[in-house]
A and B are shown apart, each in its own frame.
Chain A
């Protein structure tokens, strides 16, 4: 049985499953009004103030499951009904304040917002500029930073708080990394879904629909052998399941050759696999847009490969990533993008008991292609290819998380960078730690390594030897 990391995951799963159930049997439209009542039957509330509030939130979630607000130019949206609990005052004095004599907090505050009242520090929130100096100065750690999790974890400061104290996303800043979706403890930020479109496509007679599974898959479904999930996918109606790691193999050579070209022109190349990193460069370092690799992502390469073999194919990327939904809006080769959470819901909606299935293999890609799912994988694959070509004098840097990416890009912007290649991964740890993975644990990296090592083909070149790659465009 799947163990849910938290209630937010469970609530989302229950709703997605219910919607998928109806979509699979073609009864979604007439049951849309009923779903909030089915999911929140009452009469007592489970999580919120009352059953009606819970149902209102479910109604908002359903809108996201059906694709969200087309007017909003982003992938993630704040659910107004669900966002209402976070304190807006960032720094607060806690019970731990001893009312000491030194008053370091009072002295540290640059705007005189702190006074001592009845032996305790008091912050005047009208004056506070949220600099955090009081917190740093207190010897008792008595001042708490209760910044809203969505704001704290947004790497581009895209989230502000409006006059109703609700979170608002600025899509001019948002890079669709999904950090807020994962970190909001109330599940009040959600991504747009295409689950219904995918199910409708699967139900279309004579339509071949292929699942493209991201290598981070290896760290999912830890309660069942991975091969059983492949069987489940085919049982659900997918014609075949192809590894996105094969797309990673495909682009390795192209990206490596591009790197050599850049080096020759004394330019630094930045990677193009992670859509949120690419978006980050576009929005925060526009002067470096020319440094981004023109090579398509493994997702796009896999889609093109499948369509070169079966031109009538519809292809569905299934991964840990919310940013891929953004990439799909920009590059049209992939038809739909699903997350592992959405896949798990589809499996449950079809009442497929994964444990009862006979496993089927998933094996096309090489060790290196599979390793793209953790930070450092892209660099090591590119480096391995170049070493085999006799190119050994290149400096490659892997940036783990947006903060590290930002540092490397800042150096590059001011011509202080001494690396030839910057691999940018928006999620710390890489795709296996993506926002839409079903669990985040210390064993994820080991699971990926085991999966990578089990590949039949050792190198990208081996994995691609039967493909007519000349006919596929990688830019």
Chain B
């Protein structure tokens, strides 16, 4: 699974660096390095919402640093399925 986190200006101000940090730590804790690839991206076109996160080049989610862990859990479940 490839997760792209927007680091463009709007998302940066809403905490995308912290989203990345939180997602990274989830991956490390659960040893998902071989299954989830975390990448940065520029504008995903949803600047008015929270930090934009795109999964496998299609679906775009709006994540905040606080909801990052919950989002990762959801993705984790998807992989297991």
Contacts and interface: CB of A to CB of B under 8 A. Distances in A.
A24 B17 CA distance: 36
Interface stretch (B4-12, B58-66, B69-77): B4-12
A43 B61 CA distance: 60
Given A360-B47, A364-B7, A310 B12 contact: no
Given A360-B47, A465-B17, A466-B7, A456 B12 contact: yes
Interface string B11-45: 01100110011000000000000000001111100
Contacts of B12: 361, 363-364, 456
A467 interface: yes
Interface residues of B, number: 16
Contacts of A242: 8, 42
A310 B9 contact: no
A466 B22 CA distance: 12
Contact of B42 (A240, A361, A466): A240
B40 A309 contact: yes
Contact of A240 (B13, B20, B39, B43): B43
A239 B41 CA distance: 11
Contact of A234 (B7, B13, B21, B43): B43
B42 A239 contact: yes
Given A240-B8, A364-B7, A466-B20, A456 B42 contact: no
Interface centre among A243, A306, A466 (most CB of B within 10 A): A466
Contact of A363 (B9, B20, B39): B9
A456 B20 CA distance: 17
A310 B7 contact: no
A361 B7 contact: no
B39 A309 contact: yes
Contacts of B13: 361, 363, 456
Interface in A53-78: none
Contacts of B16: 466
Contacts of B43: 234, 239-240
Contact of A361 (B9, B17, B21): B9
A217 interface: no
A277 interface: no
B9 A466 contact: no
Given A465-B17, A466-B17, A230 B40 contact: no
A210 B42 contact: yes
A386 interface: no
Contacts of B21: 466
Interface string A214-230: 00000000000000001
Nearest to B19: A466
A54 to B, nearest CB: 43
A61 B13 CA distance: 42
A448 to B, nearest CB: 18
Nearest to B21: A466
B6 to A, nearest CB: 9
A284 B40 CA distance: 43
A144 interface: no
Nearest to B44: A240
A237 to B, nearest CB: 12
B43 to A, nearest CB: 4
A310 B41 contact: yes
A360 B20 CA distance: 22
Interface centre among B9, B16, B20, B40 (most CB of A within 10 A): B9
Contacts of B9: 230, 241, 243, 360-364
A218 B2 CA distance: 36
Contacts of A456: 12-13
A286 to B, nearest CB: 40
Nearest to B43: A240
Contacts of A241: 9
A295 B32 CA distance: 37
Contacts of A361: 9-10, 12-13
Contacts of B7: 309, 364, 466-467
A365 B21 CA distance: 18
19 contacts: A230-B9, A240-B43, A242-B42, A243-B9, A309-B40, A309-B41, A309-B42, A360-B9, A360-B10, A360-B47, A361-B9, A361-B10, A364-B8, A364-B12, A456-B12, A456-B13, A466-B16, A466-B17, A467-B40
Given A360-B47, A466-B16, 7 more contacts: A239-B42, A239-B43, A309-B7, A360-B9, A360-B10, A364-B12, A465-B17
Q: Which 8 pairs show the lowest CB-CB distances between chains A and B?
A: A240-B43, A240-B42, A361-B9, A363-B9, A362-B9, A466-B20, A466-B17, A240-B8
